[in-house]
Structure 1
Amino acid sequence: MKTKLVTACLVIGTLLAPIAAYSADSDKDRSHPMTYVKDSVITAKIKAKLAADHPGSMKHIQVDTDKDGVVWLTGTANTQEEINQAIATARNTEGVKSVWSDLKIKMDK
């Protein structure tokens, strides 16, 4: 009985090992704590500026920063002008190397 249990656990563990390794490796650019803090500071600065400029539409814009200072903007805005403003705000933030935008126009209802 114990042999069957040990064998079953060994098989399941072997099958799950690649999944565990992949999930542990998926965020390797943030493995160093200072890199993560730097990324978070840039993201927080951009979010604060966007909230001050457009408090209503900010809830629909997500900001993420990678270890190289590249900012990713995703989500929706009410107008093309708001999208342009969000991109400009991100570009003018200290520490930002480049900005990628996947923002789309979608009016709030």
Structure 2
Amino acid sequence: MKNLKIASTLIAALMMSTIVGCASTTESKHATPGQYIDDVAITTGVKAAILNAPTLKVSEINVETYKGVVQLSGFVSSAENIATASSVARSVNGVKSVKNDLRLK
């Protein structure tokens, strides 16, 4: 009985150390809450700018922002729309760069 108690304690300690050891030590998706808020504001601004562009359809273009870098993805109807979306995104305040992954339908 005493050996069973020692063994279960050792197993529990081993499991806890494994769980703690597997915890991610890499940087979280956003370094700070302030950076996350800034990225949300940039994403919202880019989506609004796309909505206001007469040739673009906001429903076709996905916008994600990470530390000021905007990524555009989705399918649009013309090469002109790809270029327009990229230039519209660059015009938004706070955008550091744009990764344009838009494709033609």
Task: Quickly name the TM-score band, shorter chain normalised.
Answer: 0.7 to 0.9
Percent of aligned pairs with the same residue?
Answer: 35
Residue deviations 1:51-98 (CA, integer Å, cap 9, x gap): 23269732232212222x221112221211211111011011111122
Match of residue 73 from structure 1: 72
1:39-54 matches, cutoff 5 A: 39-53=39-53
Match of residue 98 from structure 1: 97
Q: Give the greater-gyration-radius structure (CA).
A: 2
| Whole-angstrom CA distance in 1 between matches of 2:84 and 2:56 | 14
Contact kept? 2:56, 2:85, Cα under 8 Å: no
TM-score (norm 2): 0.73
Match of residue 61 from structure 1: 61
| Whole-angstrom CA distance in 1 between matches of 2:78 and 2:9 | 60
Alpha-carbon RMSD across the aligned residues, in angstroms, is 2.8
Match of residue 10 from structure 1: 14
Change (3 A) 1:55 1:88: closer
Q: Which runs of 5+ in 1 are unaligned?
A: none
Change (3 A) 1:57 1:16: farther
TM-score (norm 1): 0.71
Letter of the structure 2 residue corresponding to residue 75 of structure 1:
G
Match of residue 82 from structure 1: 81
